[in-house]
Amino acid sequence: MSEVSLIQGPPGTGKSFTGIELLRILTTNNVGPILLIAYTNHALDHILRKVLEDEITRKVVRLGNYHATDQFVADACLLDTLVKSEESTRTDRSAAWRHLGTMREVQEEMSKLMEEIIKVDTTQPPLDDYLTLHHPDHFEELQNPPYWIQHTLEEFAGFQDADGQVDTHMDYWSKGKDLKLITPPADGARPVVQPVQSQPGQTGGGRFAILSRASQAEGSSAPGADPPVRTVGDAWLLDKLRYFRKIGITQVPTVPRGQRDIQALLKDPKVWRMSWEERQTICAHWTNEVRAEIQSVQMAEFDSLKRKLEEAQTLREESLNAAKHAVLSRAQIIGCTTTGLSRT
């Protein structure tokens, strides 16, 4: 059965003095470590300060928070102060700092990655790799457009778009530039101001002249072969006929008008035959799929960083605990409050 000794008395009767003398006797006889517990920080610091000032022992460790501790006691024997200053803890402290540096680096990477994950991305992600892997037939068809589309792409190769970029096959297709080339003007029925009889080497409508520069250079067929241009639609059609005849096509290609659902579009790789609405539908589907894949990769990367952070945090805590253990193992007196003891 353990013995318990109780010192009781009114203020000023020597309770603290008796306790300090008991500590002197115990430490002189190498009894320890001694756990010194007080109800308040003030009471604990009062006794520890007396032990230090009377030089009963220097092997004192005070547990607790720096700001809640008497400054003299904190500077002399607070656990965190001793961990930072004792030579024996240098290795563990260096390891803790390295792990803290790793934690900060990982946290910065996680913050940047989280910004990428949650931001609203309005840009068109690259689809080539996705199509090559998941829809190779569509991708193969995309890279091999009909002759007249390929001719147009080559004719305007190197021309920058409004965004400063040179169109790829995917750009040309997704923006519907081939469809715009063969779509009649909305004001096609509007009469031209001065109907004219087309002359050899001339084109109808100045705004379509860029598509007919080849026919202008070499002239057209027999004089009088073209009908008179009476409307904007007539001028457009005449210009397009001359352009397509020059590359060996007798008629202006028909504009696709389909409105199939996504399942039908995914089964049909003939992408250049898709209407503008169908292209928007399948492009939106592919874009969502790519973004989902990107987000999946990002979340996997985030989980990996999270594990790395937890590992660094564990290693840092182990290093700090090892340093604290090295200090506590040499202590004769360990002091803390009842509240601090309950948290330790």
CA distances from 179 to 147, 175, 183, 234, 306 (A): 14, 9, 6, 18, 49
Alpha helices in the chain (DSSP H): 15-28, 41-53, 71-77, 79-85, 90-118, 128-134, 136-143, 147-155, 169-174, 177-182, 213-218, 232-246, 262-267, 276-328, 338-343
User: Are 323 and 82 contacting, i.e. CB atoms less than 8 angstroms apart?
Assistant: no
Give the pLDDT of residue 19: 86
Question: Is residue 10 very low, low, confident or very high in pLDDT (cuts 50, 70, 90)?
Answer: confident
Q: What is the CA radius of gyration of the chain?
A: 43
Give the pLDDT of residue 7: 83
pLDDT at 120 over 70: no
Question: Is residue 220 very low, low, confident or very high in pLDDT (cuts 50, 70, 90)?
Answer: very low
Give the pLDDT of residue 87: 82
- In angstroms, the CA 205 to CA 208 distance is 6
Dihedral, 310, 314, 317, 318 alpha carbons, nearest 10: -170
Paired residues of 62 in beta bridges: 78, 335
Question: Is residue 127 very low, low, confident or very high in pLDDT (cuts 50, 70, 90)?
Answer: confident
Question: Is residue 5 very low, low, confident or very high in pLDDT (cuts 50, 70, 90)?
Answer: confident
Question: Is residue 110 very low, low, confident or very high in pLDDT (cuts 50, 70, 90)?
Answer: very high
Q: What is the pTM of this model?
A: 0.59
Give the pLDDT of residue 12: 83
